[in-house]
Amino acid sequence: MLGTIFADQRRMLHVPRGQWSCTCMLALVVVWAVRGVMGTACQQCDCMVKDPDNNHGGITNIVAACEEGKVTWFTTNGSLRITLNPTKSGLFRICFRVESGAFKTVVSQEIIATTLQNYRLKTTTKKDIKLSPLLTTSGQSKVNCISGSGPKRLYVETESAEEVLTVAKVKVEYDVEKIASGLSQSPYEVCRPCTEQELLRSVCSSHFVAIGTIDDVTHDEDTSHIRVTASKVVSQKEAIFQKPTAGWSRPYELKGVVQAPLRCGIRHGEGQFLFTGRVRLGQPVLQCAPRYEQWRAVLEMAQENGQLECALDL
């Protein structure tokens, strides 16, 4: 949800989410009965787990304790089931990234499918747990996101070559972010300009808020990198905007780079902007970027109507 620095979105076509070329459907109750289930609770945001000595290819259950963190899993031939349970109600976007060294790792989303069945004039409910493949990777994967409400479960398995005798080390980083209700499932949803209400909420809750100008925009395979000169940093969770170590800059200026999806068609814009966003899996992701004049008009109206959710020094 970004501002006027994006290309004219009226030219963008609605692209529905891709359909999986294949869907892996497993009744996990059968898997559990055959292979066994091991339960573990992560008490910290960064959690390390390993297959029990007597696991013999069973499933290790993990319940993540935080809304952003990391699970490091040491395994020989088992499977890992990670439950990500948002602490608040509503819609959420869950993003994750996997690093698995030389081992091939398959990550699927566990989905509960409910069907109604008629048996001897009675209606019964049958629930099947299915796996929908999300990614397969060796090394470090790209960021993958899913959305919805309620708990989401990731099912992780490794495959190693026969000559590899070491224990597999798999690292899963995750980030759970609340999103507004009623958003469409279009991949361009994140590209639209923020509403006035979203702007006001963003300056109070974002991981970084800054006022500045765009120096340049570069692109790689799927990400746009926006180099920003910040004349004022209102807040930042991490040191995104810093004093440059080389080159000339004014005493009060800080430099930083923020990211946005390539599909949003971001481009260089003249003048000052308000930049707000979130640090997702270690990367600063831009969320709202209105022109500063637009933001001042929204701010002044909110101050007159008593709609501010926090004290602002802007």
| Biggest CA pair distance of the chain | 82
Q: Which has the higher per-residue pLDDT, 99 or 179?
A: 99
Of 234, 222, 303, 219, nearest to 273 (Cα)? 234
Grade residue 28 by pLDDT with cuts at 50, 70 and 90: very low
Query: Distance (Å, rounded) from C-alpha 108 to C-alpha 81?
Result: 10
Q: Token pair 């948002």 is at which residue?
A: 86
pLDDT at 185 over 80: no
Q: What is the enclosing helix (H) or strand (E) of 265?
A: none
Secondary structure element (H or E) that encloses residue 251, with its range: none
For residues 130 and 25, what is the distance between their CA atoms, to the nearest angstrom?
A: 4
Residue 41, number of CB atoms within 10 A of its CB: 12
Predicted TM-score of the model (pTM)? 0.73
pLDDT of residue 169: 87
Instruction: Round to whole Å and give the CA distance between 40 and 82.
Output: 10
Amino acid of residue 115? T
If phi > 0 it is left, if psi is from -120 to 50 it is alpha, else beta; for residue 282 that is left
Query: pLDDT tens digits, residue range 46-84?
Result: 988 887 665 556 788 889 888 899 999 988 677 899 999
| Residue 266 exposure: Cα atoms within 13 Å on the Cβ side | 31
Instruction: Tokens for 12, please give them.
Output: 């963008």
Please check the confidence at residue 251 and state whether its pLDDT lies above 90.
no
**Mean of pLDDT over the chain:** 80
Q: How far is CA 250 from CA 42, 202, 255, in A?
A: 46, 28, 11
Q: With a cut of 50, say whether residue 299 has pLDDT above it.
A: yes
Q: CA 188, CA 2: separation in Å to the nearest integer? A: 11
DSSP 11: G
Between 20 and 237, the higher pLDDT residue: 237
